[in-house]
Amino acid sequence: KPGSGTLPIPGVDIAVVDENGDDVPANTKGYLVIRNPWPGMLLTLWGDDEKYKKVYWSKYENCYYPGDYALKDEDGYLWLLGRADDVLKVAGHRIGTAELESCIVSHSDVAEAAVCGIPDDVKGEVIIAFAVLKQGVTGSTNLENELSEKIRKDIGAIATPKQIYFVSRLPKTRSGKIMRRLLKAIANNETIGDVSTLEDGAAVNEIQSAFDEIKKSIDETR
């Protein structure tokens, strides 16, 4: 199915489980695990067997856990939903970036989305969202309000972004993967590091301009 990670290959026993390791129903978000050894599996990390066991085998007994959210549909197809450790901490609540981005993209006018957090003295972090709109759609205050209301309804008020910016593109690798680390680096005034795999440098400039506007607005309210 387009967009899915397809079916597990023969010999790979993949399951989607909850926090306790129990299988979740079809079309329910959970943690991706592999229950039995499989051909070509990762056996260790170079020079660090203990880290390998801690990272991949400690969350669930006798299950390999790569650290991803996923769901399995009624036909057995796997859908990867993002890293389980890629979360934002807002006022003590952990909010998955993949869940938030999926909510934004489910709006009929949105083609792509990415979110990140910026430091906040009160909440720890506040959420900033970037949305690329579908061809022919123009960003507006009404659309921003629609997206905020959708997030409040689908996820909860705590997940409502402080600001939603409409941009023409997101920073991606040449293979099409959104470079979220660049969003984090720009948000936290850090060096963005290696950008040799970046497809379009103009996307970074657009994101940087948005963050500069956000920070200026925050400074003016203090």
pLDDT, tens only, 87-110: 888 888 888 887 888 899 989 999
| Mean pLDDT of the region 37-57 | 90
pLDDT of residue 39: 83
pLDDT of residue 24: 92
| pTM for this predicted structure | 0.65
Give 73's contacts (C-beta < 8 A, 6+ positions apart). 1, 4, 26, 27, 79
What pairs with residue 31 in β-bridges? 17, 69
Distance CA 99, CA 101 (A): 6
Identify the active-site residue in 22, 75, 85, 194: 85
User: What's the CATH superfamily of 87-221?
Assistant: ANL, C-terminal domain (3.30.300.30)
CATH, range 14-83: 2.30.38.10
Asked if pLDDT for residue 174 goes beyond 70, the answer is: yes
Of 209 and 75, the one with more pLDDT: 75
Q: Is 85 known to be catalytic? A: yes
Asked if pLDDT for residue 114 goes beyond 70, the answer is: yes
| Mean pLDDT of the region 133-149 | 94
The upper half-sphere exposure of residue 82, i.e. CA atoms within 13 Å in the direction of its Cβ, equals: 18
N- to C-terminal Cα distance for the chain?
Answer: 50
Domain boundaries, the chain: 14-83, 87-221
pLDDT of residue 218: 54
Choose among 169, 150, 170, 168: nearest CA to 160.
150
| Mean pLDDT of the region 112-120 | 87
Where residue 151 falls among pLDDT bands split at 50, 70, 90?
very high
Distance CA 85, CA 83 (A): 5
